Structure 1
Amino acid sequence: MSRRRPGSTTWRVRRLRGAGVLAGVFGVLAVPTAVVMLTVGVPQRASDERAFLSARPCGAETKGPAEECLRTAWFTVEAVRVWQRRSPGGWVRVIADDGRGDRADFDGTGRFLQRARPGDRVVGTVWRGEIVTLSAHGAYHHTTGHPVGAPVAVACGALVLLVSGGLGAYASWWWLRRTDRCAVRTAGLSAIALTVLGLGIYTIFLLPVFEGRAGPRPRARV
């Protein structure tokens, strides 16, 4: 007959209650955030996408940071940085012919980003004062400010948050009500804990990716 160490049950109950509180906090934060993203973020991104797709080339008299037309401009590459981590990407710092500098951020590493070098002359498409596409060397690359596809990206991020937040809230309710009766280790508790923890971590890592693809952001001045 096996002996249980004194205090082991109490320690396990405290651990489960702590996990329940953490899961509950995550659920309380994640679910409202997902609702806001679905009700506000997705319609806004969809409106930006429609405006971009219907935009026409700018005329000679159209200038300014709030321009709704598509302006083509030449830039000189000042610096390039590319990384190959779990989320490959990079940025290119450019200087316009009028001397103003800007930085274009990219998700992924395409041919343009891999071939760009300081001193290169590149063509950029500017919308609402932000570079949305850069091209050179027979290749082009959309920046993170490109609005096409942003509604889908935001909706996916919101759904991930909604599902993981809902699971976290349910796991919290289940743990906090049953810890006294479930002090012994069970496969079910371990499975729920790993599922909620994994979804939470997965969501945290996905949010920057979705946000980076979610349409125009304030320009990074250089």
Structure 2
Amino acid sequence: MHTGVRRVLGLLMVVVSVAMAAGCVLVFTKWLPADVARYEDYRSAGRCPSGSAAQEWREDCLRKVGLTVVDTVVRGGGKNSEYRASVSGRRFHGEVAFGDPGPLLDTLQAGDRVVGTVWRGDIVALTKDGLRQKTSDEPRDEPQMIAAAGAGLGLLAVLTLGFGTSRLLPLRRCAPLTWGGSGKWLFAAILMATFGVGLPAVWLGMAWQFVAPMIVAVVLGVAMLLRGLRGSAVAGAR
């Protein structure tokens, strides 16, 4: 590759790494605290006073409202999955999304009367005949995956910065930081650690504060292993 092209590519990678680093900072300073605070507010929210009229749609209390089902869409199939219901009421006309078809959505038909639970302007659950299903708008206690995403972004920023700066150096000095060398393995390790630690942390209810250090430890372990294997290969070639 021509030296000039290498340097342009290196500068672009450095810029991308800065953007990823900024995203990592935003995850931990904005998104994660806001998500945790929103869930705590929801968990502590009480029912709206009985018989009180709603002063505004975005109330901090939980209000029950009567709704009529207009139609539903229940479509499985991986990436094309779609679970939603169109509902209409005195103060709300629109769609609510769900993460899965049951236990209520796949039983609903047009014209059914349901009770919606509203919090801060969002319908967080629908109930009919004792069956209750959470909507996608209900706050969830899942900060672990947000922390995992932040850690993954930060590690990708470091990796991309390494790739970028290596392209600004002479060819003989950047062999360890090539895609065919350790790059692809570190990239795969970051992705696998992000999901491999984040998802189980959600399922097990692990404290989110442990997620990022665990991901970093896994990737550092892979990096040290790759370094050791490369050192052994170099020693064996002599």
Coarse TM-score class (shorter-chain normalised): 0.5 to 0.7
**CA-to-aligned-CA distance 1:38-65 (integer Å, 9 cap, x gap):** 1122222222111111111112225112
2:165 aligned counterpart, secondary structure: helix
Partner of residue 124, structure 1: 116
Structure with the largest fraction of helix:
2
TM-score norm. by structure 1 comes to 0.68
Aligned partner (choices 151, 154, 159) of residue 151 of structure 2: 159
Aligned partner (choices 147, 155, 172) of residue 181 of structure 1: 172
Aligned partner (choices 61, 78, 94) of residue 70 of structure 2: 78
Q: 1:112·1:137 contact (CA, 8 Å) conserved in 2?
A: no
Change (3 A) 1:129 1:16: same
Change (3 A) 1:109 1:153: farther
- Offset at residue 143 of structure 1 (A): 1.9
Whole-angstrom distance in 2 between the partners of 1:87 and 1:201: 23
| Unpaired segments ≥5 residues, structure 2 | 193-238
Partner of residue 92, structure 2: 100
Q: 1:56·1:70 contact (CA, 8 Å) conserved in 2?
A: yes
Q: 2:67·2:88 contact (CA, 8 Å) conserved in 1?
A: yes
Whole-angstrom distance in 2 between the partners of 1:199 and 1:74: 49
Structure with the largest fraction of strand:
1
**Alignment partner of 1:48 is 2:38:** yes
2:52 aligned counterpart, secondary structure: coil
Change (3 A) 1:23 1:136: farther
Aligned partner (choices 69, 74, 77) of residue 61 of structure 2: 69
TM-score norm. by structure 2 comes to 0.64
Q: 1:72·1:125 contact (CA, 8 Å) conserved in 2?
A: yes
CA-based RMSD of the aligned residues comes to 3.4
Whole-angstrom distance in 2 between the partners of 1:139 and 1:54: 23
Change (3 A) 1:20 1:153: same
Whole-angstrom distance in 1 between the partners of 2:107 and 2:34: 34
Whole-angstrom distance in 2 between the partners of 1:200 and 1:124: 41
Whole-angstrom distance in 1 between the partners of 2:184 and 2:150: 21
Q: 1:55·1:68 contact (CA, 8 Å) conserved in 2?
A: yes
1:107 aligned counterpart, secondary structure: coil
User: Residue 131 of structure 1 aligns to which amino acid in structure 2?
Assistant: I
- Offset at residue 29 of structure 1 (A): 1.4
Whole-angstrom distance in 2 between the partners of 1:16 and 1:72: 61
User: Residue 26 of structure 1 aligns to which amino acid in structure 2?
Assistant: V
Whole-angstrom distance in 2 between the partners of 1:21 and 1:108: 44
Change (3 A) 1:71 1:106: same
- Offset at residue 158 of structure 1 (A): 1.9
Whole-angstrom distance in 1 between the partners of 2:137 and 2:114: 17
| Unpaired segments ≥5 residues, structure 1 | 1-9, 203-222
- Offset at residue 94 of structure 1 (A): 0.7
Change (3 A) 1:120 1:176: farther
